[in-house]
Amino acid sequence: MSSSSSSRAHGGSGSGANRIRVGRYELGRTLGEGTFAKVKFARNVETGENVAIKILDKEKVLKHKMIGQIKREISTMKLIRHPNVIRMFEVMASKTKIYIVLEFVTGGELFDKIASKGRLKEDEARKYFQQLINAVDYCHSRGVFHRDLKPENLLLDSNGNLKVSDFGLSALPQQVREDGLLHTTCGTPNYVAPEVINNKGYDGAKADLWSCGVILFVLMAGFLPFEDSNLMALYKKIHKADFTCPPWFSSNAKKLIKRILDPNPSTRITIAEVIENEWFKKGYQPAVFEQADVSLDDVDAIFNESVNSQNLVVERREERPTTPATMNAFELISKSQGLNLGNLFEKQMGLVKRETRFTSKKPANEIISKIEEAALPLGFDVKKNNYKLKLVGEKTGRKGHLAIATEILEVAPSLYMVELRKSGGDTLEFHKFYKNLSTGLQDIVWKTAEETIEEERSSHGNSAKVVPASSS
C-alpha cells in the first residue's frame, strides 16, 4: 500500500477553505495516494512541528482482515528509533479512519540527486548504501521487512542523511502464510527479487537485500540493471540475473553486486556477510542512536475491540475564505527540482512518476475551466471542489478507472502551480492521458524564455516538447 511519498518535502499547509484539524494536527495538502492510504502534510498546532500523516481507511483494513497484522506492524514501527528510518510519532483513529503520524523530512528523494547531478561517485554511493543496509538490517532484527524498497522510499533529511520511509507499512495488505514465507507480488518490478515475482513464497530479508543491490547499482550507474519495456522480457532478465556492470565500477563493487543480485535466494549473500565485505567496510560508520522509552498506549487504544469514544479523534473543519492554497519559497524550491529535469530523468532511470506539474500565469478560474474543457472530450468525468478537481475516466483501464486529482497552488501573485496526481488506475495510462491533455492546455502553460527557445528548436526536429512539467 506504499503511497508514493511517505513524508517528503512537498509541504504547504495552504490557506484554502475549511482547514481540517485532527487532534492537535492541522492537515495540509496531499503528498501522495495509494490503494489503502493517503499521505497528507500536517502541522502540530501546539509545537509548530511539521509532520506527514498517513491516513488509512478503516473499512478497507477490516475487509482485508488486516487488523492483527496492522497492529503488530504499527507497534513494531513505533518502537523503531533509527537515524535512517522515518520515525513514527503516534497513531490516532476516528470512527472511519486510522491516522499514522510520521516524521516529515525536507531533503527530497535520494534519486532526485541522480536526476540533477547524474550518477554518484563510488564513495558517495557507498555512504548511502551503508545507511540503507544499516536501516534495513535494524528493522529486520525487529522482525519488520520492507518488501517494497524503491527510489520513492529513499528520502534525505536536511543534513543529507538517508531516511527509509514506509518501513513496515508497505506490507499491510499482505499476509505471511503458515509456512512462514511471504506471499505477495508487490513493488516496482525493476527492483523486485525473482522469488517474489515467482510468487512461491519468499524470505523477506533476502528479498529486501536484492532490492538494496538494485538500488546500489542505480546509484553508481545512473541506470537500472534490469530494464525492458516488455514485462515478460523484464521478468526473464531478473530470473537469470541478466545484467552487466558498467566499466567504471571497481572490481570489488562488481563482485559485491553480483553476490547480492544472485537469483537463487539460498546462495545469495546475507546482510551479515555484506556488512563484513571489504568494499562495504570502507569508511563505514555504524549508526549511533539511543533506545528511548516508547509507549504503545495509543496503538492499544485505537485497536481496542471496544474502542472508547474518548480515544477517537474527530476531523473538525475550520471555515476560511476560499482562495487557492499558497506556497512559500521553501516549498517551491523543494518542488522545483521536478520542474525541468523530469523528461531526462524518467527515460534514463526507467521511473514512472505518479504526478506532474506545470506553472501558469492565467487566473485560477480560467485554469480550472481549461482543464475541464480539455478533459471532457478525453472521456473524463469532472468533479469540482474550490480549487481542486477530481477527474475520473469513464472507461475501465488496466487497473480500474484512471482517477486524477488536480490542485492549483498560488506561488506568487498571479503565478500558479498546477499539480496533477494519479489517485487511481495505471501510471502509464496517466502519462498517456497527460500527453493528450497537455495539447489542450498549451495556451495556459507559462513557459520560461529557455523553454520557448528549446521548444522551437525541438519542433524543427519534429519532437515538440509540450509542457515544462516533471513528466512528459
Question: Using CA atoms, how far apart are residues 330 and 327, in angstroms rounded to an integer?
Answer: 8
Query: Could you tell me if 61 and 19 are in contact, meaning their C-beta atoms sit under 8 angstroms apart?
Result: no
Residue 430 and residue 374 in contact, taking contact as beta carbons nearer than 8 Å: no
For cell 499558497, name the residue: 326
54 is in an annotated binding site: yes
Q: Is the dihedral of CA 77, 81, 83, 87 positive or negative?
A: positive
Alpha helices per DSSP H over 83-203:
110-117, 122-141, 194-198
Query: And the C-alpha cell for 384?
Result: 469540482
- Residue 42, strand partner residues: 27, 51
CA distance 99 to 93: 6
Of the residues 112, 137, 148, 166, only one is catalytic, namely 148
Distance (Å, rounded) from C-alpha 409 to C-alpha 295?
39
CA distance 149 to 135: 12
Cα separations (Å) of 170 from 70, 130, 166? 11, 22, 6
- Contacts of residue 226, Cβ cutoff 8 Å, sequence gap at least 6: 190, 214, 234, 237, 238, 242, 243
Q: Please provide the DSSP assignment of 427-450 as one string.
A: HHHHHHHHHHHHHHTTTT----HH
Alpha-helix runs per DSSP H in 359-417: 364-375
Written as one string, the DSSP assignment of 49-111 is: -EEEEEEEEHHHHHHTT-HHHHHHHHHHHHH---TTB--EEEEEE-SSEEEEEEE---S-BHH
Tell me if residue 148 is catalytic. Answer: yes
Angle at 229 (CA atoms; ends 267, 221), nearest 5 degrees: 60
Consecutive H or E run containing 251:
helix 251-260
Annotated binding site for ATP: 54
Catalytic residue annotation: 148
Annotated binding site: 54
